[in-house]
Amino acid sequence: MMLPAWIRNRWVIVPAILAISIVLWNSYVTAHNGGLVEGSVIDAAGRPVPGATVTLFERSFVAYTSKDTTKADDAGLFRFTNNQNHALQLEAASPILGKSDRHSIRLWFRAQNFRLVEPLRLAGR
Amino acid sequence: MRTKPLSIVLRHGALVIVCFIMLVPFYWVIKTSITNENIYAYPPRLLPEAPHLFNYVDVWYFIPFARYLLNSVIVSAIAVAGNVVFNAMAAYALTKHFVGKQSVMLLFLSCMLVPFQATIIPAYLITAKLGLLNTYLGLALPLMSTIVCIFIYKAAFEAVPQSLIDAARVDGLKERQVILRILMPLSKPAVATNVILAFIWSWNAFLWPLIITREPIMQTLPLGLARFLSYLEDTTGALYAFAVMVLAPSIFVFLMAQKEFIRGLTSGATKG
């Protein structure tokens, strides 16, 4: 079946493709913007560190500022549930094992659900 | 007469080199926008290293980009509509013979010599008197008719055979209908040129929006770019990403209508 000529016009096709792309992208964003950030904390030997304090830093225009903290559970897992930013840093700390390096996270949109693949490693600093 | 293959190759080779030279700045802006490279680094890298799109995400969220985009779209739409309508009316009048036509033409041509910066204070005062400061209509007002575009319309209208217009009149069409039903459909390249030029000029306008906007929420993209620069002056990648996002819609409109645009600019330039 041949489409009408006005539909086969580039002034219709290109904006329509753009509009569909925008709708699809926004649907994806809506389905994945729960503000969830999770990961795990390990020590230098790779063992989980229960009770480690994990700090979430949010990026403002010029610097990262501390936004929230949480504790790792018995398996060394941590979770933030209300992240609203797109540029973050995570840092773990323990009174005995010291601090980890800050891990930078760049998200594609605000509050994107994110699971940290590489654990935060307490280096004993 | 057949063109020799060698001359075709040479001609196309020269055109490719010229295209390359003209596109290098665009490539460099896009390349910098997808990296965090220092633009003053020496030796410069031709290919981007570790490219990413997060600078675009930063631009979208650190300033109200969507609002600026909406403002620019509304202002440009008003300016484009104004140009298409008012310029056509003015051009149609100039295709007629009337007393003082040469003086009017001379006045128009003279006004083209006066830069907008010189008339910006009267323009501001008139806009203020009309109560249009800090409004979309006020932002678009000085761009709603441009002399260059009037002459583009005039050239296109004069190319339409007089017999066609006379026939339309015999059929009972009034002046307004002659413009709408006869001249405008036969002057599509001129319409496209008006649309593109009006869009690009209103989209890139900086000084006028800077003067008449009172609230950040009414600012357009070029003003947002300046504001963004003041916030993130050390982040070249994000700044270039913003520049790409500001330029993209006007380049998009140009690419969509380039055939009509070129035809519109060259119509009337040759006879026969």
Q: Are the CB atoms for B123 and B145 separated by under 8 Å?
A: no
Taking the C-alpha atoms of residue B35 and residue B241, their distance in angstroms, rounded to an integer, is 10
C-alpha span between B244 and B34 (Å, rounded): 10
Cβ–Cβ under 8 Å, residues A118 and A103: yes
Taking only the tens place, the pLDDT of each residue in B164-195 is 888 998 988 888 899 988 899 888 889 988 98
Show which residues on chain B lie within 8 Å of chain A, measured between beta carbons: 52, 54, 57-58, 61-62, 231-232, 256
- In chain B, the residue whose alpha carbon lies closest to the alpha carbon of A109 is B57
Q: A28-37, B200-209, B219-228: lowest mean pLDDT where? A: B219-228
Q: Per residue in B207-226, pLDDT tens?
A: 999 999 998 899 999 898 88
Beta bridge partners of A115: A38
CA gap B140, B84 in Å, rounded: 13
Please report, as a single letter, which amino acid is at residue B114.
V
What end-to-end distance do the CA atoms of chain B give, in Å? 20
Query: Confidence band (pLDDT; 50, 70, 90) for B272?
Result: very low
Partners of A92 in the β-ladder: A54
What are the chain B neighbours of A114 within 8 Å (beta carbons)? none
Q: Convert the pLDDT of each residue in B111-159 to its tens digit.
A: 989 988 899 999 999 999 999 999 999 999 999 999 999 999 999 999 9
User: A122 forms bridges with which residues in the sheet?
Assistant: A100
Could you tell me the CA-to-CA distances from B81 to B88, B140, B198 in Å, in that order?
11, 10, 9
Please check the confidence at residue A36 and state whether its pLDDT lies above 70.
yes
Q: What is the pLDDT of residue B271?
A: 47
Q: Is B39 helix (H, G, I), strand (E, B) or coil?
A: coil
Write down the pLDDT at residue B30: 92
- From the list B253, B224, B251, B242, the residue with the least C-alpha distance to B70 is B224
What residues in B contact A14, CB-CB < 8 Å?
Answer: 256
DSSP chain A: -PPPTTTTSHHHHHHHHHHHHHHHHHHHHHHT-S--EEEEEE-TTS-B-TT-EEEEEEE-SS-EEEEEEEE--TTSEEEES----SEEEEEEEETTTEEBPPEEEE-SSTT--EE-SSPEEB---
Beta bridge partners of A58: A65, A88
Which residue type does B271 have?
A: K
B54/A87 Cβ within 8 A: yes
For A100-121, give one letter per residue: b (16+ CB within 10 A) or e.
beebebbbebbbbebebeebbb
Report the pLDDT value the prediction gives residue B196, as an integer from 0 to 100: 87
- Domain A37-121 fold is Immunoglobulin-like (2.60.40)
Residue B120 CB partners (closer than 8 Å, separation 6+): B207, B208, B211
Q: Which of B52, B61, B231 is closest, CB to CB, to A86?
A: B61
Residue tagged 């709408």 (tokens): B180
Q: How many angstroms separate the CA atoms of A112 and B108, rounded?
A: 56
Q: How far apart are CA B260 and CA B250, in angstroms?
A: 15
Average pLDDT over residues A84-89: 92
pTM: 0.75
Residue-range domains of chain B with CATH: 1-52 (no CATH), 53-266 (1.10.3720.10)
Q: For residue A88, give the amino acid letter.
A: L
Q: What is the dihedral of CA B263, B267, B271, B272, to 10 degrees?
A: 50
ipTM of the complex: 0.85
What would the pLDDT profile of A3-16 be if each residue is shown by its tens digit?
788 888 888 898 89
Query: What residue segments make up the domains of chain A, in order of their start?
Result: 1-31, 37-121
Query: B246, B202, B236: which is closest to B28 by C-alpha?
Result: B236
In this predicted structure, the answer to whether residue B97 has a pLDDT above a threshold of 60 is yes
Residue from B36, B57, B58, B260 to probe the interface with A (highest A Cβ count within 10 Å):
B57
